[in-house]
Amino acid sequence: MKKFQSLLFLCLWVLFATACSGQTTPTPTIPPLDIPSEPEITHTPLTSPTAENPPTPTATTAPTPTPVPEVTPVNEADIVDILWLWTDISAGQPVTQTLVPNPEKYSMVLRSDGLVNIQADCNSVGGTYTLDGRTLTITLGPSTKAYCGDASLDQTFLEALGMVNQVGLEDGRLQLYLADNDGLMNWQNGGSALEETTVTPTVEPDTVTAVTPQATAIITAEDMLLDKVWQWTSFTSPQDGPQEIAEPERYQIRLGSNGRVFIQADCNTGGGVYSLDETTLSIVPGPLTAAACPEESQAEEFLQYLSAAALWFMDGDDLLFDLKFDSGTMRFQAAPDSALAESAAANSSSAPADEGQNIQLNVQGVAQSYAWQVQEGEPFSADSGGTAIPAHILVTFDGEDPQEVLANNGRRLYIFPVQGYRNVAGDAAAVEIDRLEALMAEANGRVDTPDNPMPFLPSPLGFMDRWVQFTDLNFTQGMGVRYVSDSPNRQAIGPWTNETTAYYYQGLSQDGKFYVSLVWPVETETLPATFEETAEDVKAQATNPSTYDAYLQEIKTTLNDLPPSAWQPDLDKLDIMIASLVIK
C-alpha cells in the first residue's frame, strides 16, 4: 500500500509543476504498470486540456472530392454539333489525373437533334442526351463490340460518360462532371462536326500548312456509306476468326440514297431495301436473278450475313457490319463506281409463265401479268395525316402505271421490310404489325371471328372496323389473314358501297422480315355502287348515329352470308393467287 501512495504523490507533483510553468507539456507515454486488482480503489480519469491550452492537432490528409464549380448554365449552341476530343480525366481518392495519349480516338458529338455520336477507340457508339442548364445526362445506346486491346481506355471512357451529370465550359474546353463528385472529364474542341474544318498551325506565313482533322467522331452516312460500291473482303467469325474472301469483286453492294440496296451475290444480281441511322443498320435483300453459281460460291452466306446486319461502323476507310447476336463481322472496302451496275436491280417484270423470276404469283385469270419495282421511301407528311413509309417493293398488274394505281386505289401488292417499317414509322407501324401477329397467334385454335379492327399497312387514316369475309390464309412462305373491307381512310359513318370496297390480305413471312399487303378492289350486287346511288332510306339509317349500329350489323350479316363467287373477282381466285406468292 505504501508503494501505491508514493506513486500517487509523484503524479500529483508532476501535474502541479506543469500548471505552474504556464506552458503546454506533451503528455509522456507511460508503459502500463502491473497493478494488482483492489476493489476499494476508484480510478479518476484525467480531465481534458482547457481552452486556454488546447492540444496541438495532428495533421491528417482528407480525401479531396472533385469540385463542381458554381457555373452559369451552358449555352447549348456552344457545345452541340462540335467534335469534342477527350484529353484527360481526374478521378479517384486521392484525386489522380489520367492523360489520354490519343484524344482523337475518344471523341463525342452532341447533336442538335438530341442524339450523341461517340468514338470509343475502335468502337462506335450511339445514344441520346438531355441538357437542362448545367445538367447533362448521356444515355448510351447501340455499340459495336470490337476488342480494342489491353491498353485501350474504351471501357473507362464509356463508363465515365454514363456517369456524367454536370457540364461546364472553361476557356473553350468542355468539362463534364461525374455524379457524386466522382471525377472530371476534360475535352478540347476539335472543330465543327457539321462541316470539314481546317486547322491552321501558328507558324510563319511562308510555312503555313493546312491540317485536316481525322474524321473519327461523327460518321455521316451520306458522306461515308451511300452511293458507293463496297466489296466484301473478309468475315470474322467468333469461332474461326478472320476469313479472307478470295474474290471480293464477286460480292458487292451499293446503298443508294433512296433507300434501295443493289446487290451482286456472285453470279446473281438484284436489289432490296435498307434502313440505317448513325449506328444501326437493317438490310432486306429482295429478288435476285437465279443463275447457278459455281460450287465454291459464297453467295448464300453473303446474303445471309447481309440480312443479319445490325450495326455499322468505319475502321479507317473500311466499312464493317456487325451481325445480330455477336455472330460475326463483315468487312468491306470501297470499289470503283463502275463495279456494280444499278440497272441490274432497277426493275423486273414477269408474266405467269415466265421462269427464273424471284417474285412468283399464279394470277388465276384475275390479271394477265404482273411487274414489280422498288419504290422509294416516303417521309412523314403532317399535311396529309400520313406516316412515313420505308423503301419497299410494289407489284402492279397488267402494265398499269404505279403512280396511277396508287392515286386511284388500284390493284397492288406491297412487300415491306418489317424492321425498316418499324424504324421509320415507329408506333404507327408497330400497332399494325403487332395486331397481325396477334391474329396469327390465334389462328390454329380460332373458334370465333375476331372482333378487333383489322391490321393494314400502309398505315390507314382511320380504323379497319367495317370488314367481313374474314379467314386465316397462309401463303407459300408465311401466313396471314384475308378480309373484305370498306376504305381504310373512312372518317365518318355512312352507307357501305362498292366504290370503297376491296379485298385485303395482310401477311408476314416465316422469317419475320417481310410484311405482305395486297389490296384488290371488289364489288357485289348486294351493295350500291356509290353513295349517290344508295337508296334514301338506307342513307338515312347509315348516317344517323342512333340507327347506324343496327344498319352496320345488318349489312355485315348480309355480306358475310355471301359465297365467294358472289364477289367480282371471285374471292377464291384471289385467295389462290396470294397463297401462291413466292419471294426469293
What pLDDT, on a 0 to 100 scale, did the predictor assign at position 72? 58
Q: Are 49 and 55 in contact (CB under 8 A)?
A: yes
Greater confidence (366 vs 326) lies with 366
- In sequence order, the β-bridge partners of residue 132 are 135
Mean pLDDT of 184-188: 93
Tell me which H or E stretch contains 438: helix 427-441
CA distance 403 to 416: 17
In a domain, 42, yes or no: no
What pLDDT, on a 0 to 100 scale, did the predictor assign at position 110? 92
- Return the C-alpha cell found at 221: 452516312
- Return the C-alpha cell found at 564: 365467294
Residue of 481, 488, 491 whose CA lies nearest to 502: 488
- In the predicted model, is pLDDT for residue 11 greater than 80? no
What pLDDT, on a 0 to 100 scale, did the predictor assign at position 13? 53
Query: Would you tell me how many other CB atoms lie within 10 Å of the CB of residue 116?
Result: 20
What pLDDT, on a 0 to 100 scale, did the predictor assign at position 302? 95
For residues 493 and 523, state if they share a domain: yes
Return the half-sphere exposure (C-beta side, CA atoms, 13 A cut-off) of residue 255: 21
What pLDDT, on a 0 to 100 scale, did the predictor assign at position 23? 45
Check: pTM over 0.85? Answer yes or no: no
In this structure, which amino acid lies at residue 92?
G
In a domain, 200, yes or no: no
For residues 184 and 321, state if they share a domain: no
With 0-12 / 13-18 / 19 or more C-beta atoms within 10 angstroms meaning exposed / middle / buried, residue 474 is: middle
What pLDDT, on a 0 to 100 scale, did the predictor assign at position 10? 52
At residue 576 the predicted structure's pLDDT band, cuts being 50, 70 and 90, is: very high
In a domain, 420, yes or no: yes
Flag the least confident range among 70-74, 90-94, 98-102, 257-261. 70-74
At residue 314 the predicted structure's pLDDT band, cuts being 50, 70 and 90, is: confident
**268-276 and 183-192 beta bridge pairing:** unpaired
CA distance 394 to 376: 10
Plot region of 121 (φ>0 → left; ψ -120 to 50 → alpha; else → beta): left
For residues 537 and 424, state if they share a domain: yes
Structure confidence by residue, pLDDT tens digits, 254-292 = 888 777 788 889 988 877 888 877 788 888 887 777 778
| Residue 54, C-beta contacts closer than 8 angstroms, at least 6 positions apart | none
At residue 454 the predicted structure's pLDDT band, cuts being 50, 70 and 90, is: very high
What pLDDT, on a 0 to 100 scale, did the predictor assign at position 97? 84
DSSP 266: T
What pLDDT, on a 0 to 100 scale, did the predictor assign at position 143? 66
CA distance 543 to 552: 11
- In the predicted model, is pLDDT for residue 505 greater than 80? yes
Plot region of 81 (φ>0 → left; ψ -120 to 50 → alpha; else → beta): left
What distances in angstroms separate CA 415 from CA 145, 205, 232, 394, one per listed residue? 33, 61, 27, 6
Greater confidence (245 vs 142) lies with 245
Q: Out of 153, 173, 192, pick the residue that ends a domain.
A: 192
For residues 148 and 256, state if they share a domain: no
What pLDDT, on a 0 to 100 scale, did the predictor assign at position 259? 76
- In sequence order, the β-bridge partners of residue 392 are 375
- In the predicted model, is pLDDT for residue 381 greater than 60? no
In a domain, 23, yes or no: no
CA distance 243 to 519: 46
At residue 467 the predicted structure's pLDDT band, cuts being 50, 70 and 90, is: very high
Residue of 319, 321, 301 whose CA lies nearest to 310: 321
Flag the least confident range among 52-61, 251-260, 521-530. 52-61
Return the half-sphere exposure (C-beta side, CA atoms, 13 A cut-off) of residue 544: 10
Mean pLDDT of 529-552: 95
For residues 371 and 520, state if they share a domain: yes
Residue of 433, 419, 457 whose CA lies nearest to 285: 419
What pLDDT, on a 0 to 100 scale, did the predictor assign at position 391? 84
Note the residue count of the chain.
Answer: 584
| Residue 70 backbone phi and psi in degrees, to 5 | -80, 100
CATH number at residue 124: 2.40.128.270
What pLDDT, on a 0 to 100 scale, did the predictor assign at position 460? 79
CA distance 440 to 450: 11
- In the predicted model, is pLDDT for residue 396 greater than 90? yes
What pLDDT, on a 0 to 100 scale, did the predictor assign at position 224? 75
- In the predicted model, is pLDDT for residue 424 greater than 50? yes
DSSP 47: P
Mean pLDDT of 89-114: 86
In a domain, 106, yes or no: yes
Range of the domain at 101: 76-192
Candidate ranges 10-19, 290-299, 496-505; pick with highest mean pLDDT: 496-505
Q: Are 498 and 529 in contact (CB under 8 A)?
A: yes
CA distance 162 to 380: 33
What pLDDT, on a 0 to 100 scale, did the predictor assign at position 122? 81
In this structure, which amino acid lies at residue 435?
R
At residue 9 the predicted structure's pLDDT band, cuts being 50, 70 and 90, is: low
- Return the C-alpha cell found at 307: 440480312
For residues 335 and 484, state if they share a domain: no
DSSP for 369-429, written as a single string: -EEEEEEPPB---TTTT---B-SEEEEEETT--HHHHHHTT-SEEEEEEHHHHHHHHTHHH
For residues 88 and 146, state if they share a domain: yes
In a domain, 2, yes or no: no
For residues 318 and 363, state if they share a domain: no
Flag the least confident range among 54-58, 242-246, 441-445. 54-58
CA distance 230 to 345: 16
Mean pLDDT of 555-563: 96
| Residue 219 backbone phi and psi in degrees, to 5 | -115, 110
Q: Are 500 and 531 in contact (CB under 8 A)?
A: no
Domain count for the chain, please give it.
3
In this structure, which amino acid lies at residue 535?
A
What pLDDT, on a 0 to 100 scale, did the predictor assign at position 491? 73
What pLDDT, on a 0 to 100 scale, did the predictor assign at position 508? 96
| Residue 297, C-beta contacts closer than 8 angstroms, at least 6 positions apart | 250, 266, 267
Q: Can you list the positions of beta strands (E) in 305-357? A: 309-315, 318-323, 329-335, 347-350
Candidate ranges 200-209, 351-360, 372-381; pick with highest mean pLDDT: 372-381
Q: Are 516 and 581 in contact (CB under 8 A)?
A: yes
In this structure, which amino acid lies at residue 317?
D
* In the block, residue with C-alpha cell 396469327: 440
What pLDDT, on a 0 to 100 scale, did the predictor assign at position 476? 86
For residues 148 and 287, state if they share a domain: no
Q: Are 253 and 230 in contact (CB under 8 A)?
A: yes
For residues 140 and 259, state if they share a domain: no
Q: Out of 287, 315, 344, pick the residue that ends a domain.
A: 344
At residue 74 the predicted structure's pLDDT band, cuts being 50, 70 and 90, is: confident
At residue 70 the predicted structure's pLDDT band, cuts being 50, 70 and 90, is: low
Question: Hey, CA dihedral for 544, 546, 547, 552, is it positive or negative?
Answer: positive
Q: Out of 192, 210, 239, pick the residue that ends a domain.
A: 192
- Return the C-alpha cell found at 470: 374474314
Q: Are 352 and 362 in contact (CB under 8 A)?
A: yes
Greater confidence (137 vs 351) lies with 137
At residue 28 the predicted structure's pLDDT band, cuts being 50, 70 and 90, is: very low
Residue of 459, 374, 390, 415 whose CA lies nearest to 581: 415
What pLDDT, on a 0 to 100 scale, did the predictor assign at position 34? 43
Integer-rounded Cα Rg, in Å, for the chain is: 38
Q: Label each residue of 94-118 as H, E or C.
A: CCEEEECCCHHHEEEEECCCCEEEE
In a domain, 328, yes or no: yes
Tally of helices (H runs) and strands (E runs) in the chain: 11, 28
What pLDDT, on a 0 to 100 scale, did the predictor assign at position 219? 44
CA distance 269 to 346: 10
In a domain, 60, yes or no: no
For residues 339 and 365, state if they share a domain: no
For residues 85 and 166, state if they share a domain: yes
Residue of 313, 308, 310 whose CA lies nearest to 280: 310
At residue 337 the predicted structure's pLDDT band, cuts being 50, 70 and 90, is: low
**How confident is the prediction for the chain on average, in pLDDT?**
79
